Structure 1
């Protein structure tokens, strides 16, 4: 194994090098709309399309058990990719900085299910890691022409052994 990963709490500041946390506190502005019956938390995370079009999908993630072997990461160089949990269940996020076209040392975050994440275009990340039971996520990402998927395998896997819970 390459090393041990322990998930830290997902916060907007800690996650910012990789994208945005999707939560009301991350809004650029807050407005009352619809005659005051609705609060709009505006512009929480950019949607990067790189010349493509926005896709809205639902992903259903099967739960993983820890420890989890983190052997590979993927990225989408042409557009961002947002994951918003629909059932309030916890999930893990593993991301890494780019180092000359390959993922660097990964960082893990525990999301309690009350917020989502938006990976910036080109951010290395692990595929969806649901916990406890199968979980649905609203996903916004890019569709269109061009190669928007890359994956890279670590020489030695990392062990995601525990979380911040």
Structure 2
């Protein structure tokens, strides 16, 4: 299963996070964000979460005020993609304590870091929430104590 991109949009259509795993030109990226965003945002909540877009499949899920949108190949499993999306949201929730749009606006680097711990090159890397949260805690500790391992008295 290969992801082509991950996109987080607000209900107003503002882009909150984008991660590209396939090569697209900047013009193609903007066009895809605009087209996929309008398809997902204008869709009735009672309709299916799976959409076809060109040679891809779009899987979208709304959590609170954010739409989590994943783009995969047409032959990839939609339910597995929804599970990976839910896994990402659960880790964000545990890290931020009930994640909201403002958490992603002001701590976007953490959201990217969490996504990078989950996926590499568009493929799922880590399935354990505990492992991802431990790695993030380690990263936070390194940021708080930069230098020689955070040991006092060293420069």
- TM-score grouping bracket, smaller chain normalisation: under 0.3
Higher relative contact order (CA 8 A, sep 6+): 1
- Relative to the length of structure 2, the TM-score reads 0.23
Larger-Rg structure: 2
Higher helix share: 2
TM (norm. structure 1) is 0.22
